Amino acid sequence: MANLRNKSKSLDNTGFGSNASAEGTRLINKDGTLNLKKVGLPFLERLSLYHALLRLPRLKFLLLVFAFYTIINIFFAIVYVLVGIEHLKGTDTSTSLAYNFQQAFFFSSQTLTTVGYGHISPSGLLANIVASLESFMGIMSFALVTGLFFARFSRPKAYLAFSESIIIAPYKEAKALMLRFASKKNNNLTDAEAQLTGAFHVMEEGKEVTKYFTLAIEMSKISSLALSWTLVHVIDEQSPFWRLNEDELMRTKFEVIVGVKAFDDHYSNIVQQRTSYTTNDLVFGAKFLPAFHRSPDGSHTVLNLHQLNKMERVVF
């Protein structure tokens, strides 16, 4: 990789270190998150619960809310049973502990959600204190859950779908590094900008270090991301990929970090997304096939998101 060592415009402001031996398999995960784990402080000091709940997958978030709701009801049901089921007017006293717990559990759920059907009511000071505390906890917890639901629903996202592979393709009597992406939702993105950064592991004075380079894009800005957008990095004398053949490319440990930002007119805000590609994602000698076409009746354009990674082999 002498070609890289001769480059004079390597970057040192990427936020990533140059010590390659301290890095994991990649810097950026496919979903755009940092491939990083922080240690050295207690878990609760390192955890931002709000950010964790916002980033939690939808199904896991719903299951967590359901689990929280169930556990709280179980806890208060146990408290009501300990206080005495006879202090809940309207319940059928029974010698069955399971039946008494069942009645206490459903009374707890009615109290926690402030539904209060009315056929069961607390009697006595202790039972009323417990019911009051549970009502207060219900108001507070459901306010927090409602806020989280709104924050997750309204959080600006780019909603971009990227090709699974990055390719080396013939381009204007030369060759170029290419990838493509598109907006996968019904949002409208304008004033889109893209940036590519290459991270290469090279040996310097017997030590493996990471060098970063800005990969020039033939067109780095477009006015509207209506269809798919193919980013093209021409491999010329200024490219760190210059004069590397297929075998050298496949042996090279590199990572291409992609950053995209655009204006979403629905959110009236700037949204951004990033991902990365490594040597394992590289396909040498291929070109992308069109991902959009005219509808059969000719009335509109059809963008097939399943074809973002569709390509064919070429010889050059």
Task: Quote the pLDDT of residue 223.
Answer: 95
CA distance 81 to 79: 5
Question: Which of 2, 3, 1, 4 minimizes the C-alpha distance to 211?
Answer: 4
The pLDDT assigned to 3 comes to 53
Residue at 6: amino acid letter: N
The whole model's pTM is what? 0.81
Q: Which residue in 262, 279, 85, 121 sits closest to 182, CA to CA?
A: 262
- Cβ 168 vs Cβ 175: under 8 Å: yes
- What is the predicted pLDDT for the residue at 79? 95
Residue 44's pLDDT is what?
Answer: 80
Alpha-carbon distance values, 182 to 126, 162, 194 (Å): 61, 7, 12
Helices (H), the chain: 2-5, 43-46, 49-55, 58-83, 97-112, 125-154, 246-251
Integer angstrom CA distances of residue 167 from 58, 131, 180:
33, 64, 10
Per domain, the residue ranges of the chain are: 49-154, 158-313
pLDDT of residue 20: 63
pLDDT of 131-170, one tens digit each?
A: 999 999 999 999 999 999 999 988 888 999 999 999 998 9
Listed in sequence order, the residues at least 6 apart from 295 whose beta carbon sits closer than 8 Å to its beta carbon are 301, 302
- pLDDT at position 8, please? 44
> How far is residue 223's CA from residue 153's CA, in Å, rounded to a whole number?
27
Q: The domain 158-313: what is its CATH number?
A: 2.60.40.1400
Per CATH, the architecture of 49-154 is what? Orthogonal Bundle (1.10)
Residues of the chain with pLDDT below 70 are 1-10, 12-13, 20-22
Q: What is the model's pLDDT at position 266?
A: 84
Q: What is the pLDDT of residues 185-210, one digit of tens each?
A: 988 899 999 999 998 887 777 787 88
